[in-house]
């Protein structure tokens, strides 16, 4: 966050603790500390930020921050994403713009790790809508509002580094793969897609960013991939493992180390 004194002398604060402005204020002169730039995901105030400097340094100024969050819901029948703020008690409140349009048949939404970008897989239009996320949590379509995928995209995910995105294409039995630019925009990789099982549903990337897994609804398998340094997927030596009937969703977890 950035703090200001009398609308100037900007000071960047990155952690809890004491802080001091670089420009000294003469005794008998007023000060007025305010928040210049809010930290993402929080709202901060300076309730006792103004006064007059006496004979010693002012040490009574405190900055109080409260965490804010946002939630997004894909609405497949009306081609929108509902957007909510999350209150301190966890309740959802519609934003001023309660929803925003997407492509046709939005099914899945994923955010990048920074919380700056969102991507929506649209099964009927075979596209991925791409959005920037404002400081208030609202979605805004990028200059290029969507990119093409394979047939009937079902699920979208972003790897932990925020550099790559992957989309399962239910109608093409494939996974589209993209790089994510500095502006959040998706660009197809040189090899735009790789094969999966029949009717792939959900894709997930493990926490290390080294492996990806896809559930295949009609072939009752999970496809498994290695992610190389360029972000591209390569099937493992054992390309898939069997599951129960019609697998839909998958997630991963690593045990904690001590």
229's tokens: 């340094």
pLDDT at 257: 66
Cα 51 from chain centroid (whole Å)? 40
44's tokens: 């901060």
Note whether residue 252 is domain-resident: no
Note whether residue 57 is domain-resident: yes
Q: Both 37 and 159 in a single domain?
A: no
CATH of the domain at 229: 2.130.10.10
CA dist 33 and 45 (Å) reads: 10
Domain assignment of residue 11, given as a range: 2-66
Q: Both 151 and 47 in a single domain?
A: no
Q: Both 24 and 124 in a single domain?
A: no
Cβ–Cβ contacts within 10 Å for residue 7, how many?
9
Q: Both 30 and 122 in a single domain?
A: no
Q: Both 8 and 129 in a single domain?
A: no
Mean pLDDT of 160-169: 98
SS (H, E, C) 41-75: CEEEECCCCEEECCCCCCCCCCCEEEECEEEEEEE
Q: Both 195 and 108 in a single domain?
A: yes
SS (H, E, C) 158-207: ECCCCCEEEEEECCCCEEEEEEECCCCCEEEEEEEEEECCCCEEEEEECC
> What digits encode the pLDDT tens for the residues 17-72?
889 999 989 999 999 999 999 887 778 899 989 999 998 889 889 998 887 789 99
Q: Both 120 and 210 in a single domain?
A: yes
Residue 92's SS3 state is strand
**Least confident piece of the model among 33-47, 119-133, 216-230:** 33-47
Q: Residue for token digits 């926490």?
A: 207
């Amino acid at each position: 966050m950035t703090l200001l004194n009398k609308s100037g002398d900007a000071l960047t604060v990155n952690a809890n603790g004491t802080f001091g402005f670089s420009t000294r204020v003469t005794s008998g002169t007023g000060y007025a500390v305010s928040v210049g730039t809010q930290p993402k995901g929080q709202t901060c105030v300076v309730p006792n930020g103004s006064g007059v400097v006496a004979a010693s340094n002012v040490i009574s100024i405190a900055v109080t921050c409260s965490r804010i969050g946002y939630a997004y819901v894909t609405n497949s029948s009306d081609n929108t994403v509902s957007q909510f703020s999350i209150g301190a008690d966890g309740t959802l409140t519609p934003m001023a713009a309660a929803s925003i349009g997407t492509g046709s048949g939005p099914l899945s939404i994923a955010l990048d790790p920074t919380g700056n970008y969102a991507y929506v897989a649209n099964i009927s239009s075979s596209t991925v809508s791409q959005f920037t996320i404002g400081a208030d949590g609202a979605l805004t379509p990028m200059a290029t509002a969507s990119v093409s995928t394979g047939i009937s995209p079902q699920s979208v995910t972003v790897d932990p580094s925020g550099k790559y995105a992957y989309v399962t294409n239910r109608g093409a039995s494939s996974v589209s793969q993209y790089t994510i630019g500095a502006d959040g925009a998706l660009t197809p990789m040189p090899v735009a897609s790789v094969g999966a099982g029949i009717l792939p549903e959900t894709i997930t990337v493990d926490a290390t960013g080294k492996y990806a897994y896809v559930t295949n609804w009609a072939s009752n398998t999970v496809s498994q991939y290695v992610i190389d340094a360029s972000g591209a997927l390569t099937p493992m030596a054992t390309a898939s493992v069997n599951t129960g009937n019609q697998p839909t969703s998958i997630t991963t977890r690593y045990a904690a180390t001590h």
